[in-house]
Structure 1
């Protein structure tokens, strides 16, 4: 299964589950017990428990279709247009596509249930323009879309699973976790910055990190932070080891930049090259800050990862990994390793064995 397909399927089931639940709840809010309200007239087909069940079935079908179509729309917009359109234009186009899709879904479901249950429901052309029930549903969909977007943004900000752990207060007190860290730094950044100037250099870094963001989800990585021209990536230990994610991400990022080499040469006169250091182990994670909350990692693992990356220039290689982490990896046949020796990293008392990894 390709990584793009894996990402799409993950987005798909989350979207379908979310919209089935929220549309099912809407049907209960909207129709349950309505025939018992004083002064409310309800057609026979929607009265009593049977009417509520019909409405629930209809809106759950709508939830499945909306979940499927919205996920597909988001996937294709994120993959093919987000780097070509401004945020405002992207939002406007998505909204238009969402709305047309929603009208089509409601029309299809109304026609289907009209035939199945012989209901007197109007689905003629333009039916939705004057239908107050439809517009109340649209308002509900807009509101819950904000909730879905908030959850998605928060998940992307803090990492999968971390946001909900924060809501539950797990990181109020420091917790021990086993993780892998990669410090990814732009090579020859000072020279490039001098040649480009601060404005164009900022655009250059923006393009580099945009390319990185396209690669990161495919290898189950989390972006811990950006510091100038450096990015710090992290994995839960098992996820980083699985399929050599923590190593293959680096080479995928290299390949991504090479595929856009002409773009970088035309715009900046240089193709970016990054160096990276990898290390893993047990460290502490906790929630810090009051005005601006974020997750912080403390411990020797993160410091050692940064120091290992700092050795890349000395050994004239692009990727260095600690021997401890390398021993836990199952190296793919297309990769080769080379022992570079034991180094005494700044701030450490014991030497660390380091290796470089390259493609065969």
Structure 2
């Protein structure tokens, strides 16, 4: 799923970059075939996007981003020029060797200033839009762009609260800076499983993350449940790396609940998509029960009844419990995988 998403993203990016080359060709070389502008744009623009994504020259990218702002801007322009110069020369050489264009080698392989300026502006816009999309999240970005929640809307959603255990003790031992780096790494580890299962990280609240799905998308293939255990499994699979970098493997607690909420765009200078209603509060309260009931993953009985759990997931009925701020008791179920259930049993015997 993650590979498919990445391929789709790069395909769309390639089409967008190619279209900017077509536009440039139509504006300044209307007699030339449109594919020529598209080829030059792809060879010039895609390396810049790959560099921005740290798919090429990752160490140089990290070094550039650590520079003070004036040096960062200057260095970025230099790197962009070099990458585009190489791409432009490759595109021109390819077209020349294939006999698709006329002109001297010099004209076809040396990057012109106007082409460079146009490519930098176009790439900057694409990168900026991509950064804003990443900052806000895909669903929030599209919702703000279309004004979907300009007026409050009632809908059904699934919410996942996932919390890092022991962050306070970690901060006391290692300090705030190290703790922030640890939290950042934990949240980063959640990103790909959330993307893979078509969710959206809506907010970070201290050492917890709020992840959400439209109800139908969260229930389909039990995406919301699979997401939780993918996060836990990915962290466990990289335990040696966590130990080497931070001296411990993150321990998480997670709670899932879903139902009707009101979604609205709020704010004046700073706009945000916010969720209102008992469903959000209940999901947050359910996460606090993880500690009380000594379970890692909890799901409300209401939500569990609406989805088909994967075969590898074991349900443990925990009965009904009082939840602060809610008049009615909430049916609670703990979720385990077979491996984790066996490990828990072994620890209990020891």
Highest Rg: 1 or 2? 1
In structure 2, the partner of 1:56 is 34
1:200 aligns with 2:178: yes
Is the CA contact (8 Å cut-off) linking 1:15 and 1:67 kept in structure 2?
no
DSSP-derived class of the 1:171 partner: coil
Moved more, 134-143 or 165-174: 165-174
Is the CA contact (8 Å cut-off) linking 2:93 and 2:109 kept in structure 1?
no
1:313 aligns with 2:295: no
Is the CA contact (8 Å cut-off) linking 1:320 and 1:357 kept in structure 2?
yes
Shift of 1:92: 9.1
Instruction: Give the alignment's TM-score, normalised by structure 2.
Output: 0.82
In structure 2, the partner of 1:241 is 219
In structure 2, the partner of 1:229 is 207
In structure 1, the partner of 2:280 is 302
In structure 2, the partner of 1:103 is 85
The gaps in structure 1 that reach 5 residues or longer are 32-51
**Superposed CA offset, 1:103-160 (max 9, x none):** 344334434544666743123599415xxxx321221111111211222122223332
Instruction: Give the alignment's TM-score, normalised by structure 1.
Output: 0.80
In structure 1, the partner of 2:16 is 18
Matched length = 334
Shift of 1:251: 1.8
Counterpart mapping for 1:126-141 below 5 A = 127-128=109-110, 134-141=112-119
Matched residues in 2 for 1:262 and 1:275: separation?
A: 21
Shift of 1:329: 2.0
Matched residues in 2 for 1:259 and 1:317: separation?
A: 21
Matched residues in 2 for 1:152 and 1:181: separation?
A: 25
DSSP-derived class of the 1:235 partner: strand
From 214, 223, 228, the counterpart of 1:250 = 228
In structure 1, the partner of 2:103 is 121
Shift of 1:168: 3.2
**Superposed CA offset, 1:219-277 (max 9, x none):** 22211111111111112223222333212222222223223333433444332201011
**Superposed CA offset, 1:36-55 (max 9, x none):** xxxxxxxxxxxxxxxx2524
The gaps in structure 2 that reach 5 residues or longer are 339-350
DSSP-derived class of the 1:205 partner: helix
Matched residues in 2 for 1:354 and 1:78: separation?
A: 47
Is the CA contact (8 Å cut-off) linking 1:185 and 1:229 kept in structure 2?
yes
Q: 1:82 to 1:17 in 2, by over 3 A?
A: same
Q: 1:177 to 1:150 in 2, by over 3 A?
A: farther
In structure 2, the partner of 1:49 is none
Shift of 1:161: 4.3
In structure 2, the partner of 1:350 is 328
Matched residues in 2 for 1:259 and 1:272: separation?
A: 12
In structure 1, the partner of 2:255 is 277
Is the CA contact (8 Å cut-off) linking 2:323 and 2:330 kept in structure 1?
yes
Matched residues in 2 for 1:325 and 1:358: separation?
A: 16
**Superposed CA offset, 1:159-185 (max 9, x none):** 324324323333221122322111111
Aligned residues: CA RMSD: 3.2
